[in-house]
Amino acid sequence: MTTSDRPRISLLGTTALLFEAPGTFDLPHQQRIWTLATTAAKWSGIREAIPLITNLMLTFETPPRDPNFLISALNDAWDEAQELPIGGREIRLPVTYGGEIGSSLQAVADHCGMSIDDVVSIHAAPLYTVFALGSHPGYCYLGGMDPRISMPRRQTPLQRSAGGSVSIGGSQTGVSASPGPSGWHAIGHTTWTFFDPSWTTPAALAPGDIIRFEIERVIR
Amino acid sequence: MGPTSVQDLGRFDQYRFGVGTSGAMDDVALRAGNILLGNDENAAGIEIPMTPFKLRFGRDMTFALTGAEVEAEIGGRAIPPWWRSNARVDEVLSLKTMPRSARCYLTVSGGIDVPVVLGSRSTQFRGEFGGFHGRPLQPGDILRCASPTASASSGELGVEPADLVLARPDVPAGNTTVRVIIAGEYDAFDGAAQDLFWRSGWKITPQSNRYGYRLQGPAVKPISPIEKRSHGIVPGVIQIPPNGQPIIQMRDAQTSGGYPKIATVIKADMWRVAQARLGSTLRFEQTAYADALAAEDEVSVYLDRLRADVRLFAELQGCR
């Protein structure tokens, strides 16, 4: 195996560790990450195992005296990890593309060298899988975006982006659950409720759920 | 520097729902205040980043002021820094100026009694829950206090401030040096860029708050642009966005990000970042993982000593 076939594992100070899987950004890799998360969450000293996009962060209940033990345990567990299929729910999300909240729609179209209509239809075409929750309460990272509408994150993040923003950051897309800073490009918005701390499970969506964006309106 | 808010030590096990830690920016100061009062160390207090601040006590109560040195007065008496004192009903505590550091903490006997939401009393601003109705405190707000615990202590007492006991050697006045462990993308920066990161003084810009500290200095750029898949991040992580100006993630930071990470401020030094003022200069010093754990032990030893001192003082009071 070459080094690029091996996971990258790095420390986040003394409170967490990051495991990054080798390979492509796709569902089979993500399903192995879900398996790894389930395994690592049971290890002693681990507070939480948090899957993101083909990677996994472990936060520590107590920092390990020697992180190398944990690093080899992760490597071994990754080699053994099978793809964990999660049969999630399918949710339809009506989206208004463009407009004040989706003000980067034109910029994405320009960057990708296509029309606004093309960006919208390419964005709304696939069935997206919720890969992970992160960023802020209830926010979902989605897998399945067509790479033709990728756009690098902002040079400088915005101090405030609206709640419900449907955005593109690199080759990823997602919907914000509340207003806050963002380095992504908003192309539309939705009015769905993603998070409520009084619910038994505070987030409405979970990894494995399926989302279909419905074009409600396109504001040019 | 952000709003006045109710915070405990933080919400640590909800990352998988996208919920970050929140919690006191200077956790050492909050713990010290609670230790002075005989509270649970995780009891909620008020984080105050701005003066003037005034609070009227609704009943006789013991309180403590820790964190940033502040010119404080109640009933005509001056309250020294890192001090426990008693307030009588209707007395007004007035915090006038905070000349040096960034945040002071007001703790009360029993703690601020707000509901525990998802395991913590800390204010989650982005999610608008926790703390006092999920929002910053405003003039006129009335906060309930829990009943003092059996171990509650009262009477005038001060302790040695953390910034004296845990002072770092050779740091010029107005500067803050914090120790960092290199992070995942450190090697994506060439030697010259790494040198710039270590050798520069970084100015804390006005766009710095509980979410993050945005720093200003020479542009530190990776060998080639990096667009990473989103991954988990924690408070202390120093990201380098494409403009080359570092951002330190603080307690209200997002739980994930994709900008390259050059280093992470060690947990034992996060309170120093929290107390660094806008416009002041921050410097980074590389440290090893084992040394970072040793630094955490040093903070624990300091807090252990406070506990012992407070207990000893209570015993002496009992003997009189």
**Crossing angle between the packed helical segments B289-319 and B27-37, to the nearest 10 degrees:** 20
Q: Which of A47, A52, A178 to mutate to test the interface with B (most CBs of B within 10 A)?
A: A52
Which residues in chain B have their CB less than 8 angstroms from residue A179's CB?
126
The model's confidence at residue B61, banded by pLDDT at 50, 70 and 90, is very high
Q: What is the largest CA-CA distance in chain B?
A: 70
What average pLDDT does range A187-198 have in this prediction?
94
* B184 inside 8 A of chain A by CB: yes
CB contact at 8 A, B248 and B202: no
Whether the pLDDT of residue A172 is over 90: the answer is no
Domain boundary (A59, A80, A101) is at A80
Q: Is A157 on the interface with B (CB under 8 A)?
A: yes
Is there a single domain that holds both residue A59 and residue A99? no
Task: Please report the pLDDT score of residue A69 as a whole number.
Answer: 95
Residues 6+ apart with CB under 8 A from B17: A133, A137, A138, A195, A201, A202, A203
Question: What is the average pLDDT across A162-188?
Answer: 90
Is the same domain home to A117 and A213?
yes
pLDDT at B1: 63
Contact flag A14-B261 (C-beta cutoff 8 Å): no
Helices (H), chain B: 27-37, 162-165, 191-199, 270-275, 289-319
For B200-257, what is each residue's pLDDT tens digit? Answer: 999 999 999 999 999 999 999 999 999 899 999 999 999 999 999 999 999 999 999 9
Contact across the interface for A138 and B18, Cβ inside 8 Å: yes
Predicted pLDDT at B145: 96
Which of B9, B13, B17, B124 is the best residue to mutate to test the A interface, defined by the most A CB atoms within 10 Å of its own CB? B17
A131 interface with B at CB cutoff 8 Å: no
CATH topology of domain B175-287: Cyclophilin (2.40.100)
Quote helix, strand, coil % in chain B, to nearest 5.
20, 25, 50
Q: What percent of chain B has pLDDT over 70?
A: 99
Q: Is residue A156 part of a domain?
A: yes
ipTM of the complex: 0.95
**CA B16/CA A195 separation, integer angstroms:** 13
One domain, residues A107 and A158: yes
- The nearest alpha carbon in chain B to A136 belongs to B18
- The answer to whether position A135 is within a domain reads yes
Residue holding tokens 């520097």?
B1
Does residue A63 share a domain with residue A112? no
Per the CB < 8 Å rule, is A12 touching B128? no
- Asked if pLDDT for residue A4 goes beyond 70, the answer is no
A187 and A116, same structural domain?
Answer: yes
B234: which chain A residues are within 8 Å (Cβ-Cβ)? 12-13, 15-16, 57, 59
Answer yes or no: do A61 and A102 share one domain: no
Taking Cα atoms as reference points, which of B142, B282, B148, B316 lies closest to residue B214? B282
Q: Report pLDDT digits (tens) over B113-126.
A: 999 999 999 999 99
Q: Does B12 touch chain A (CB under 8 A)?
A: yes
Residues of B in contact with A141 (CB under 8 A): 230, 256
Asked if residue A26 and residue A117 are part of one domain, the reply reads no
Q: Give contacts of B265 with chain A, Cβ < 8 Å.
A: 13
pLDDT in tens, A12-63: 999 999 999 999 889 999 999 999 999 999 999 999 999 999 999 999 999 9
Residues of B in contact with A134 (CB under 8 A): 15, 18, 230, 232, 254-256
Whether A14 and A45 map to the same domain: the answer is: yes
| CATH code at position A160 | 2.40.100.10
Mean per-residue pLDDT, B277-298:
97
pLDDT one-digit tens code per residue, A146-160 = 999 999 988 888 878
Of the candidates B19, B234, B254, which has its C-beta nearest A16's C-beta? Answer: B234
User: Do A95 and A61 belong to one domain?
Assistant: no
Domain limits of chain B? 5-159, 175-287
Residues A104 and A137 in one domain: yes
Work out the pLDDT band at B98, boundaries 50, 70, 90.
very high
In this predicted structure, the answer to whether residue A1 has a pLDDT above a threshold of 50 is no
For residue A144, give every residue at least 6 positions away whose Cβ sits within 8 Å of its Cβ, in sequence order, or none.
A27, A126, A127, A128, A129
Query: What's chain A's average pLDDT?
Result: 93
Measure CB to CB from residue B256 to each of A15, A135, A180 and give the nearest one: A135
* B249, B236 contact by CB (below 8 A): yes
Number of domains in chain A: 2
Of A15, A133, A156, the CB nearest to B17: A133
> Using H for helix, E for strand and C for coil, what is the string for chain A?
CCHHHCCEEEEECCCEEEEECCCCCCHHHHHHHHHHHHHHCCCCCEEEEEECCCEEEEEECCCCCCHHHHHHHHHHHHHHCCCCCCCCCEEEEEEEEECCCCCCHHHHHHHHCCCHHHHHHHHHCCEEEEEEECCCCCCEEEECCCHHHCECCCCCCEEEECCCEEEEEECEEEECCCCEEECCEEEEECCCCCECCCCCCCECCCCCCEEEEEEEEEEC
| Contacts with B264 from chain A: Cβ below 8 Å | 11-13
pLDDT over 90 percentage in chain A: 82
Q: Which residues in chain A (17-76) have CB-CB distances under 8 A to chain B?
A: 18, 20, 25, 47-57, 59, 63, 65, 67
B137 to A106, A130, B55, B63, B133: CA distances (angstroms): 40, 36, 11, 18, 9
Is A57's CB within 8 Å of B15's CB?
Answer: yes
Q: Is B260 a residue whose pLDDT tops 80?
A: yes
Judged by CB atoms closer than 8 Å, whether chains meet at B184 and A20 is answered as yes
Supply the Cα-derived Rg of chain A in whole angstroms: 18
Within-domain flag for A7? yes
- Best mutation target among A3, A9, A12 (most B Cβ atoms within 10 Å) is A12
Q: Which residue on chain A is closest to B229 by alpha carbon?
A: A53
Q: Cα distance from A92 to chain B (closest Cα, Å)?
A: 20
Pick from B234, B27, B4: nearest CA to B120: B27
Domain end position, chosen among A56, A80, A104? A80
CATH at residue A48: 3.30.1360.40
Q: Which residue among A46, A80, A114 closes a domain? A: A80
Q: Are residues A52 and A124 in the same domain?
A: no
Mean pLDDT for B262-267 is: 98
Q: Is residue A85 part of a domain?
A: no
Q: A12 lies in which domain range?
A: 3-80
Q: How confident is the model at residue B320 (pLDDT cuts 50, 70, 90)?
A: low
A42/A46 Cα distance (integer angstroms)? 7
- Give the predicted TM-score (pTM) of the model: 0.93
